[in-house]
Structure 1
């Protein structure tokens, strides 16, 4: 069964290769792939459907170079970034990596492998809030900045010098297929690393997708938050409605362990909030309510003008 499934998977990979690969394919098989590519692409990324990569690798060894899996993985990676075929970025192949299966292979080239672990200082005597909404981020002077050229492990709070900071993260192209891929990658992380914190060999990379999903779950409290992230291009794509996106991330927040990258960002946000001066708080208050303050100032000036006119008439 695994042999036949692996043959099917390799043939499906060939659909994303060079034109000569497609021309050599049986017409009926190519027609079936074309009619069902979205469903197949979702199905082969389910954790419970994974085929040991050693089986797939054996079948790939009979294929002419270059191996079809490289372009296929590049296409899968581009789907999460909403890029067309002409925008594909070549994979930086790591010959030392031995994937357990296709899901692990695609995740590896989406996440990368920095083998890093941060040790942030935090005052444990004060409570640490594990979540903060989009509105609360704006209140403390933190702006969401999507960047296409950063990876999941590159999520970062960029302190601009005390008055403001940028929360930099890769945008999420949210479709039903992408949501399924990310959930299964996160499930793979949970199975592969039972404990993200007490395991001495655990790095930030081991919980990258869990951290990425939790970051979005943290930001979204209501449908209006989804609209805000769409306007900022932090969430792209129209595959899911705002309610479906909110329900998806609400479920994530309740049923997934916190990743190290996520906790690192939360600690940085909390440290940033605590070091702000009263002057900065006053500046952010003025910035947030400037329209109301200007309206109130205009009304006050108008009232003073009217009273001055009345006083002048009375004196006359």
Structure 2
């Protein structure tokens, strides 16, 4: 990756230091814990961190192969690049957003938009909103821009907080006649878009990789410190998954239904990841999926639905059992008819 001085362009190091120093107290107030660094050390730390972040994202925006051809120690190795992207989303690694923005503007020689700079953090360019929301740091920016925007659309369904009852696990819901399907990918659904319609739970496919636990955990950690009236959308989402997965069998069922893409090596690993994530998690007072929970519970509690589900699963799950059941019903009907005629003939005599 290029040397730090290549980022400065026409600006001097002094202008960067002054930009940070003039907002030093605001930067200190950003952190929850007391900053033990003296003024000079704090400015140096923020300067180096911000320059690295900006330069890394600038290099990421270059055409693929440019850095690799120069033997770049970061972009020449895919795993190093992905690890740095993950580290930029760690809750404990965040620095004030205004520091990153101010230094970016001072270094912006090619009129690059900040939106175009930060898109790698969103994974896909299409996930970046046209107008970036206000956020305290990069993690908050991705949380608000990628997830909260979709929550605003979901909120039109008038979710309301109430004393709710948890839903059954995936295998238990299947026994009640409920099926699972992934949301159509051609509609570009949000990860948080989970609906229940016509005895079907539609869920956007979740790719479980080695990095999935990290970004979910850091989003949940960020939500832990949000004000009480703010919706904790990722915590709500993780809680929904935990309710569905009470064992590895539930994870297996969701994988077979295409709801989960498992790159972790086993269904038990998926269950363990979700189980760890939801430990001591606080969901929103205005729980995102409260209406869905109500609808699912109302359907799954009906005994008739359970009986029909058992009948379909055990007797109509393949043509041969269905044919056998029909044949048995025909034979029983014939036997009853013969018995009736025999009784009528006997009493008629």
Verify the 8 A CA contact 1:10 1:60 in the aligned structure 2.
yes
Does residue 261 (structure 1) correspond to residue 307 (structure 2)? The answer is no
Whether the 8 Å CA contact 1:73–1:106 is kept in 2: the answer is no
Q: 1:271 to 1:279 in 2, by over 3 A?
A: closer
Normalising by structure 1, report the TM-score: 0.73
Paired position in structure 1 for 2:189: 150
Aligned match of 2:50 = 6
Question: How far does the alpha carbon of each residue in 1:284-304 deviate from its partner, in whole angstroms, 9 at most, with x for none?
Answer: 231122259759748968x98
Given the superposition, is the C-alpha separation of residues 282 and 237 from structure 1 closer, same or farther in structure 2, using an over 3 Å criterion? closer
CA shift digits 1:25-51 (9 cap, x unpaired): 9956x3224331122122111101111
The whole-number CA distance in structure 2 between the counterparts of 1:138 and 1:129 is 18
Q: Distance in 2 between matches of 1:170 and 1:262?
A: 14
Secondary structure at the aligned position of 1:15 is classed as helix
Aligned to 2:34: none
Task: Give the aligned partner of residue 94 of structure 1.
Answer: 131
Describe how 1:119-268 pairs up with structure 2 within 5 A.
Answer: 119-120=159-160, 129-147=165-183, 148=185, 149-158=188-197, 160=198, 165-193=199-227, 195=228, 199=229, 202=230, 206-239=231-264, 241-259=266-284, 260-268=287-295
Q: Cα RMSD over matched residues?
A: 3.4
Distance 1:13 1:102, change over 3 A: same
In structure 2, the residue matched to 1:52 is 96
User: CA separation in 1, counterparts of 2:87 and 2:161?
Assistant: 43
Q: CA deviation at 1:218?
A: 1.5
Selected match of 1:31 from 44, 57, 73: 73
Count of aligned residue pairs for this structure pair: 273
Shift of 1:103: 0.7
Q: Give secondary structure in 1 for the equivalent of 2:168.
A: coil
For residue 66 of structure 1, the aligned residue among 95, 112, 127 is: 112
Shift of 1:279: 4.8
Contact 2:173 2:300 in 1 (8 A): no
> For residues 258 and 268 of structure 1, do their structure 2 counterparts lie closer, same or farther at Cα, with a shift above 3 Å needed?
farther
- SS of equivalent residue, structure 2 residue 73: helix
Alpha-carbon separation, structure 2, partners of 1:251 and 1:284: 32
Higher relative contact order (CA 8 A, sep 6+): 1
Query: Hey, what's the Cα distance between the residues in 1 that align with 2:221 and 2:248?
Result: 26
1:71 and 1:144, CA in 2 relative to 1: closer, same or farther beyond 3 A?
farther
**CA distance, structure 2, for counterparts of residue 135 and residue 150 of structure 1:** 25
Q: How does 1:76-95 map to 2 (within 5 A)?
A: 76-78=122-124, 88-89=125-126, 91-95=128-132
Gaps of 5+ in 1: 79-87, 308-316
1:251 shift after superposition: 1.7
Any gaps of 5 or more consecutive residues in structure 2?
1-44, 336-349
